[in-house]
Structure 1
Amino acid sequence: MFGRKNDKAMRATMRRLIKKEVNEIAEKERKRIIIETTEDNRDQQKNGSGTQFRAQVLFEMTKAFGQKGENKVFNNSFLKATNLLSYIRELWKKKNSE
């Protein structure tokens, strides 16, 4: 109806908007994970095990989000963020059960 050129431009704009939205969600999730683990580790650091847990969490985050935690564009970054969150929760359950 609007022509092929306009249609392509509209699809490209939608792709950019979706990528931006996904990256914002992933960034918020990453920040929330850092805040959660920092608060949880305050209790654990008294006996020294919190530091090791935090290092493991940061390692998993850099693996999921790129070097030094920078937010790279992934097609499935929201999925990675949710998988990372569930992985961290499982780690935390294991840590508390020991």
Structure 2
Amino acid sequence: MIICEVIGHVWATKKEETLNGMKLMVVRQMETGQKQPPVFVAADVVGAGIGERVLVVSGSTARRAFGKDDVAVDCAIVGIIDSLEVDREKLQKGL
């Protein structure tokens, strides 16, 4: 799982049929140490909103979040983070 922040919505009137009815959100990975953290689109399973920190899964796990293997989804928001506690010292050392 990846910790991300929701930074926007995606509207697409024409899309692959298996994406119909899905809420698509723009998310940015948090705490990467990069100047430009990765930004990508994730299908929302839990009803997240802009500004919320979320848990994102990718690959076959993202498709499983929808209970299907034939969905055109590579990333899915599967949780909204209420609180997060991190030992910054250990994080900086890579532990």
TM-score by length of 2: 0.25
Give the structure with higher Rg (CA).
1
Structure holding more helix per residue? 1
Structure holding more strand per residue? 2
